[in-house]
Structure 1
Amino acid sequence: MSNSAPFPPEQRRFGRVNWLGLFTLAEREVLRFANVWTQTLLAPLVTAGLFLVIFTIAIGPQRGEVMGVAFTTFIAPGILTMTVIQNAFANTSSSIVISKVQGNIVDTLMPPLSGAEMVLGYLAGGVARGLFVGVTIALALLVFLGIVPAHPLLALGFIVIGGAFMSGLGMIAGIYANKFDQMAAITNFIVTPLAFLSGTFYSVEALPAGLREITHANPVFYIIDGVRFGIIGVSDSPPLRSFLVSGGATVLVLVVAWLMFRRGYRLKA
């Protein structure tokens, strides 16, 4: 019997990239959330709708206009973006931490995948889930509120950046956490504050100076602000600055995730 590998490298790779392995990992990550769509896709849409309805009823009539637009119109892009980034984070973080807890992370580590290929595979699932949720909410805003995106391609670009940023953060969190309670702590004390304290429901210009500076240090603020400009044409920060800051933060977290995968940090026994 031959001792050679059943699938030689030339059958696994095309050029310098393991396209078959990368596609298989990406497909697995997409099918993970697609197979339980009522939990991963429908539930976030319902939650986003409830947020919008509750804030509109409770605050909308008294708040009036924010930055020259109705309060409901102002918060709609923020709720959309918050839902996108939370789902992107949940997709990558849950996939990795569940595999670690169940002991089958080895199934992902054994195939001939480089650190970059693993990052891209997980990233595809997180961004795809975020995009699906974001586009669906945008269509709902168009149908029910009559909000036509002012700059649709710009809005789409910031949604992709937001999904990629939080997917990368989810990879880092999933690799670091060895137990579900550790993952819950990261979600409650890091991810949730980043999402809620980012201008989702308010303009940062209304904040005191100290809180305003803290908000400007939050990369999620620039993602939400960029999406808001793309959808309703108003923003607290110039779109170019939002793109540079959010894009730079996304590259940083993806590089950290790549280094963790490459070194097998908290993945290999």
Structure 2
Amino acid sequence: MTAQPSLEFGQIRKTSLISNILQDALTVFWGDWLDLRVRIAQVAASGLVSPLIYILAFGLGLGSALDSAMKPPVGNTYLDFILPGMVALSSMTISFGGTTFSICGERLYSKTFEEILLLPVHPLALFLGKMMAGVLRGLMTSASVILIALLFTRNLGFISPLFLLVLVLNCAVFSGLGVIVGLNVKSLEGVGLLNNFLIVPMSFLGATFFDPQTLPAILKFIVYLLPLTYTSTGLRAAAYLPLSQFPWYSIPVLLTVAIALSAVGAYQFSHQRD
């Protein structure tokens, strides 16, 4: 007779825990938003440099020669083909870099990160709050690149719900990775080193400039180990292809990576000593 009330109490307690974690995560996020809101233009423009250079050099420069020799797998021109990759690239760069440098600044220079660790909240809430701030950074920069894509292509697929879902998941993955890196590096030089060995290679190998289906098997295996590959192919399909040809596996892959990073990040916060 007592099993049912006990089960209901357990469900209520679990629901209450989840609700508290989400509320605390929003509180942590709000603290970062108060800093971000005075630098919206700076954050939105900070990730535009590399995509614009790639658009000019590859899309308009190299692309004009490629268009006369071949037709891209999707889109009418090579510029159309790489624009979704540029959205993926900008969101990755700023979600990772902005989050990492923000946490490093709090840990190593302003020394305010200890105050965050003293908050009476669940470690997962701390991670989610920081990750949400990184997602916002990535979306603000991506919005600028999407605007450029809309001007070039007049394709509303760049603002479709499926396109935006994949984009948010990509921002979550790389901002989560940025939180973990920010918690572990000992100096800004360490951030630069990881950026050079992780983010820069992924920028070129993450299917931003090419179709991974055309690669040999061994290279295809390596490329599909990178989360950016699933983002680039997913965004490209969402912008140009019908739903029947969308690579639906990209969504659970990105979601799984984001959840795994959340578990690692929560563990890291629970054991962080600064």
1:248 to 213, 235, 256: 256
8 Å contact kept, 1:165–1:254? no
- The alignment's TM-score, normalised by the length of structure 2, stands at 0.84
Distance 2:92 2:158 in 1: 21
2:43 to 34, 40, 44: 40
Which letter does structure 2 place at the counterpart of 1:74? F
Aligned to 1:202: 210
Distance 1:37 1:151 in 2: 20
Q: What is the RMSD of the two structures over their aligned residues, measured on CA atoms?
A: 2.3
Superposed counterparts of 1:83-94, under 5 Å:
83-94=90-101
1:199–1:19 CA distance, 2 compared to 1 (3 A): closer
CA apart distance, 1:197? 0.8
- Number of aligned residue pairs: 252
CA apart distance, 1:164? 0.3
Which letter does structure 1 place at the counterpart of 2:114? V
1:107 to 105, 108, 115: 115
Q: Does 1:67 align with 2:70?
A: no
Distance 1:240 1:114 in 2: 33
- The alignment's TM-score, normalised by the length of structure 1, stands at 0.85
Which letter does structure 2 place at the counterpart of 1:77? P
CA apart distance, 1:71? 0.5
Per-residue CA distance 1:204-250 (angstroms, 9 max, x = gap):
13323321211012122011211111112289x95211112121111
Distance 2:44 2:87 in 1: 13
Per-residue CA distance 1:77-127 (angstroms, 9 max, x = gap):
000111011111122211211111122211211121211110121011111
- Unaligned 5+ runs, structure 1: 1-14
Aligned to 1:10: none
CA apart distance, 1:191? 2.0
Per-residue CA distance 1:175-213 (angstroms, 9 max, x = gap):
110111111111111122223211101111332332121
CA apart distance, 1:31? 3.3
| Secondary structure of 2:156's aligned partner | coil
1:91–1:150 CA distance, 2 compared to 1 (3 A): closer
